[in-house]
């Protein structure tokens, strides 16, 4: 794929939605949520949050959705964080409502039943980085130079889960240093720290690398992918014996599915199974 891959995907060019869901025609089972505020580098506004919530509802209704990628509809971007221009006109009560809203929506993303990937092709700052942290995987373009939590330098703290998800991902000491200093990381720095899982090659975008990873997962059975994520998502919060029982509870419903029987038949016939999400 070329670096024009994003532009080549048929999405509604005349949409006014600041976030929207679409399929990737060349990759069955792969869907994307595009952040669509190019002039502000996808700064998170009240409208973007509402559109993001609507896109998530649509994604949950897609039974053949195997992987969901979050990315920017415009090249060289991810999300510059909260819309500080909009924030200046908000009352304290409106700010509190905004924070509650963004936490709720980011928690929804964190608990989605299918694999998620954040494709970071530009700055991921504050709330933008917090959005990326809700995903299962984070992939950054090699030329990204601005990944950070700048909030303490603005008189606030990360308010959409950053103080909680970052320590769980990279450890308490590293997270404290990152948040207390507001340090700006490059893609390579973020990878070394464990904040990013993959850095795309210099000839590729993060979105293209995300598509490669998504394609590998998209051949799996939709229900099995969801069961695997559900089983793993709580594994570290429980004693091993309890976690193993949880795994069995996630496995059990798969036994009677059409997809499991199709996989057995396909194995016997030496062909790739055709899953239907049932």
Catalytic residue check, 151: yes
* Residue among 43, 82, 160, 224 flagged as catalytic: 82
Hey, what are 259's tokens? 């997809």
Which of 200, 248, 259 is closest to 66 using CA atoms? 259
Rounded to an integer, what is the distance from CA 177 to the centroid of its chain? 24
CB-based burial of residue 239 (10 Å sphere; 0-12 exposed, 13-18 middle, 19+ buried)?
exposed
* Residue among 81, 122, 127, 159 flagged as catalytic: 127
* Residue among 130, 141, 187, 263 flagged as catalytic: 130
Hey, what are 7's tokens? 């532009």
Please state, in angstroms and as integers, the Cα–Cα distance from residue 69 to each residue in 30, 47, 84, 117, 244, following that order. 8, 20, 26, 5, 30
* Residue among 19, 118, 151, 214 flagged as catalytic: 151
Place of tokens 């496995």: 251
Catalytic residue check, 243: no
Catalytic residue check, 127: yes
Q: Which residues are catalytic?
A: 82, 127, 130, 151
């Amino acid at each position: 794929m070329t670096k024009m891959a994003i532009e080549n995907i048929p999405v509604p060019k005349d949409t006014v939605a600041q976030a929207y869901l679409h399929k990737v025609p060349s990759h069955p089972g792969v869907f994307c949520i595009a952040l669509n505020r190019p002039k502000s580098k996808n700064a998170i506004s009240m409208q973007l949050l509402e559109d993001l919530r609507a896109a998530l509802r649509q994604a949950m209704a897609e039974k053949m959705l195997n992987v969901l990628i979050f990315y920017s509809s415009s090249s060289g971007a991810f999300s510059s964080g909260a819309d500080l221009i909009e924030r200046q006109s908000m009352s304290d009560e409106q700010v509190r409502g905004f924070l509650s809203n963004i936490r709720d929506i980011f928690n929804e993303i964190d608990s989605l039943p299918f694999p998620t990937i954040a494709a970071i092709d530009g700055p991921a700052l504050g709330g933008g980085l917090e959005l990326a942290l809700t995903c299962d995987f984070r992939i950054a373009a090699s030329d990204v130079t601005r990944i950070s939590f700048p909030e303490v330098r603005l008189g606030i703290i990360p308010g959409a889960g950053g103080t909680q998800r970052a320590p769980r991902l990279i450890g308490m000491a590293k997270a404290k240093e990152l948040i207390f200093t507001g340090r700006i990381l490059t893609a390579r720095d973020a990878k070394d720290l464990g904040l990013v899982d993959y850095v795309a090659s210099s000839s590729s975008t993060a979105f293209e690398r995300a598509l490669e990873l998504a394609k590998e997962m998209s051949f799996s059975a939709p229900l099995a992918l969801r069961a695997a994520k559900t089983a793993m998502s709580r594994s570290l919060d429980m004693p091993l014996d309890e976690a193993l029982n949880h795994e069995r509870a996630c496995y059990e419903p798969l036994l009677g599915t059409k997809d499991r029987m199709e996989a057995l038949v396909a194995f016997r016939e030496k062909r790739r199974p055709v899953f239907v999400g049932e």
